[in-house]
């Protein structure tokens, strides 16, 4: 998995995530979100348009990232969700929460 970090002018951070988000790489996403929040990001948006696979460990990492941001009074959202990943997120009732819809 590859994660590219881009700061925005409004104090937020966009993470472009590509590859597979699974039990081997889930901690990388969690660490990237934690680092952005520790650096003072007001919001973290994970662009998943390059994500080709996501298992339950990846779903859990996104859920933990959402909770961590909420505890800090900030936001974590996802965008660019592939239809297969969207289906899993909808089945777990996390899609609306993580996309902010």
pLDDT string in tens for the chain (101-residue length) = 999 999 999 999 999 999 999 999 999 999 999 999 999 999 999 999 999 999 999 999 999 999 999 999 999 999 999 998 999 899 999 999 999 98
Angle at 97 between CA 52 and CA 85, to 5 degrees: 15
| Separation between Cα atoms, residue 101 and residue 98, nearest integer Å | 8
2-99 belongs to which homologous superfamily?
A: STAS domain (3.30.750.24)
pLDDT at residue 90, as a whole number: 94
Q: What are the distances in angstroms from CA 99 to CA 12, 20, 23, 84? A: 16, 19, 22, 15
Q: Are 47 and 79 in contact (CB under 8 A)?
A: yes
| CA-derived radius of gyration, the chain | 12
CB-side neighbour CA atoms (13 Å) of 28: 16
> Global pTM?
0.94
pLDDT at residue 30, as a whole number: 97
User: What are the domain boundaries of the chain?
Assistant: 2-99
């Amino acid at each position: 998995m590859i994660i590219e970090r881009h700061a925005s002018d409004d104090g937020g951070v966009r993470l472009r995530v590509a590859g597979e988000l699974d039990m081997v790489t889930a901690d990388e996403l969690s660490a990237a979100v934690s680092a952005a929040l520790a650096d003072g990001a007001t919001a973290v948006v994970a662009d998943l348009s390059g994500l080709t696979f996501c298992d339950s460990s990846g779903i859990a990492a996104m859920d933990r990232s959402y909770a961590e941001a909420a505890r800090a009074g900030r936001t974590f959202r996802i965008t660019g969700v592939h239809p297969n990943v969207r289906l899993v997120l909808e089945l777990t009732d996390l899609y609306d929460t993580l996309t902010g819809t």
